[in-house]
Amino acid sequence: MDTSKIFQHGTLGLLVPGLYDGTITAGELLAHGDTGIGTLDGLNGEVIILNGHAYQAREDGQVREIAATETLPFASVHFEAPQQATTVSQLDMADFQRQVATDFQLMNVFAAVRVDGMFKRVKTRVAPHQTKPYKTLVAATATQPEFEGTAVEGTIIGYFAPHLFQGATVGGFHLHFLSTDHQLGGHLLDFEIDQAKLSVQKFADFQVHLPIDNADYLAEKFDNDTIDSAINKAER
């Protein structure tokens, strides 16, 4: 079990023009990590992977465990072994991100960020399931359900990536949430921590696994500027 690297299937950039076909099974993905985030085939919801179990937050607000045979177009996983842990309290999302990036000197580092505890408020969004012909990521996420909770116990899991890697992944923070009771999940838009434990795991290695048997992926001419602006719109 290699705890020194992030394994990422696909790129965030491939979602931008609408390459939403699942190209790795959840079973294969979980062989590369027990913790992470992603989305399902057809941009179907938000994926949260904790303790070796993959969950889907769906656009109807339900959370369910993903079967090993289901497929994903994009996901990042790692084997959890945080090097540092501390407590955090009374922080909103902007302050949290600023403080964590500074305190752990993340600017040029890949890191997994996990927060377990009590949240005063949490706001998530869930990408709506797409059918072919697929819309672009910006069009697909122009209207998407948002979910909110107050006084929620749960877990934030996600990554920080150097801005140099925007396009390959999300430059900066990309965080998902799952409540302990599995009643609230999704891609984090906003939150305020009440009291929680923060764990940080830095990685020297970032492994990108590409869907080289997917005809649409092979034929797509990616445009960096379009990808950059779409990620800033759809993933922050």
Interface positions with Zn ion (CB under 5 A): 187
Cis peptide before 128, with omega less than 30 degrees from 0? Answer: no
State which residue, 36 or 117, has the beta carbon closest to Zn ion. Answer: 36
Instruction: Report the amino acid identity of residue 110.
Output: F
The least distance separating Zn ion from the CB of residue 219, rounded to whole angstroms, comes to 26
The least distance separating Zn ion from the CB of residue 224, rounded to whole angstroms, comes to 20
State which residue, 178 or 204, has the beta carbon closest to Zn ion. Answer: 178
What's the full length of the chain, in residues? 236
State which residue, 9 or 187, has the beta carbon closest to Zn ion. Answer: 187
* Spatial distance between the Cα atoms of 223 and 98, rounded to a whole number of angstroms: 30
The least distance separating Zn ion from the CB of residue 20, rounded to whole angstroms, comes to 14
The least distance separating Zn ion from the CB of residue 174, rounded to whole angstroms, comes to 6
* Spatial distance between the Cα atoms of 145 and 147, rounded to a whole number of angstroms: 7
State which residue, 30 or 75, has the beta carbon closest to Zn ion. Answer: 75
Nearest to 97 by CA among 163, 175, 168: 175
State which residue, 58 or 187, has the beta carbon closest to Zn ion. Answer: 187
Q: Return the structure tokens found at 10.
A: 């696909």
The least distance separating Zn ion from the CB of residue 126, rounded to whole angstroms, comes to 9
Tell me the residue nearest to Zn ion as measured from the CB: 187
* Spatial distance between the Cα atoms of 181 and 151, rounded to a whole number of angstroms: 12
Q: Taking phi first (over 0 means left), then psi (-120 to 50 degrees means alpha), and beta for anything else, what does residue 21 get? A: beta
DSSP state at residue 41:
T
* Spatial distance between the Cα atoms of 37 and 23, rounded to a whole number of angstroms: 15
